[in-house]
Amino acid sequence: MLALGKLLELTLAGREPAEKTQLTVGGVRMRWLGEGALEVRPPEGCDNGLDLLLSAGIHGNETAPIELLDELLHGIARGDIKPRARVLFLFGNPEAIRRGERYLEQDVNRLFNGRHEMSSGSEAMRAGELERLAMTFFSVPGRNRLHYDLHTAIRGSKIEQFALYPYKEGRQHSRRELARLRAAGMEAVLLQSKTSTTFTAFTYETLDAEAFTLELGKARPFGQNQQVNLEPLETRLKQIVEGNEPEFADDKLDGLQLFSVAREIIKHSDSFHLHLPADIENFSELSRGYLLAEDLAQTRWVVEEEGARIIFPNPKVKNGLRAGILIVPASAESLG
């Protein structure tokens, strides 16, 4: 196997490869762009016009997605996977990955869409570097652009595998992409309704890619992800890379649950208190009238929505950041 196929091994060791560019026996070009960054180009005449960005490790302790990308890269380097798409592999926060921590000082996935310019430190610099890598990769006109940013959650979830679909004013969410997600094993999609500072929000809003944050179960250490079934996603990613996806109907969203954001719970001060059990799972239902959270100046969040659920509750975030999202069921008719 080519040395550049061992991007994870290089990243964990903090080493640069001796050769920055290598060719597989089949003529696939692999190019090292920097720490945790590798571009794959299909042979001349085999390119199908898709630019696919696959990122993981934006949070360093989310190992199942990192292992999945590692497997895909191994397959390409061995010649078992024969790309027809250009692919950019990114391991987002190398130092946090090495330490097995979510992040060092700042949550990198809150530093995109210019947010890193208002901050400092290594993780703000890394967010800026990831933006530049994505901008360069998606700079070729006339090509299809797709970005999957792979994560696992801090806590368990009643819906284990789900996606978050960013928002841009005037742009409709794609039924075809939702059908593709369903085929990849996603059980639910959260349709966002405001701009954000995540990596996929940047590639969706600024670079016009179809972009999705994929949540793939609970965060566990390397080698302990046997409970997470990523086979449907791995199969679909291989098919996308090789350009041989089975046909799927755009309007077939059977079994895919759709949700929209009702409200975000923002932590304003150290007095913030979230009235939820510490071990509550994502997508837990909340009854109307439930006092969800309190903060300074008698700020209260009371559940008013029918069918409301909570995702990403985290009272330990820094002041000014989101401490949870209240979501409600959505209809496919809203997609247009």
pLDDT in tens, 297-321: 888 999 999 999 999 999 999 898 8
pLDDT band for position 251 (cuts 50, 70, 90): low
Name the pLDDT band for 64 (thresholds 50, 70, 90): very high
- Three-state DSSP state, 43: coil
User: For residue 303, what pLDDT is reported?
Assistant: 96
The structure tokens listed for 168 are 């841009």
Average pLDDT over residues 79-84: 97
How is the chain split among helix, strand and coil, in percent rounded to 5? Answer: 25, 25, 45
Q: In this structure, are residues 223 and 198 in contact, taking their beta carbons and an 8 Å threshold? A: no
Positions of CATH 2.40.50.630 in the chain: 263-335
Please write the tens of the pLDDT for every residue from 275-301: 999 999 999 999 999 999 999 888 899
* Candidate list 160, 205, 215, 281, residue with the active-site label: 215
Q: Which residues contact 222 (CB under 8 A, 6 or more apart)?
A: 63, 66, 67, 100
- Across the range 198-206, mean pLDDT stands at 98
Residues 6 or more apart whose Cβ sits within 8 Å of residue 164:
189, 190, 192, 198, 200, 212, 213, 215
- Looking at the predicted structure, is the pLDDT value of residue 239 above 70? yes
Token pair listed for 215: 């949540």
Average pLDDT over residues 119-134: 95
263-335 to CATH, choices 3.40.1350.10, 2.40.50.630, 3.20.20.100, 1.10.3720.10:
2.40.50.630
Residue 215 is a catalytic residue? yes
* Domain boundaries 3-242, CATH class: alpha beta
pLDDT of residue 114: 86
Q: pTM of the full predicted structure?
A: 0.94
Alpha-carbon distances of 313 from 259, 267, 326, rounded to whole Å: 16, 11, 9
DSSP state of 318: P
In the chain, which segments carry CATH 3.40.630.10? 3-242
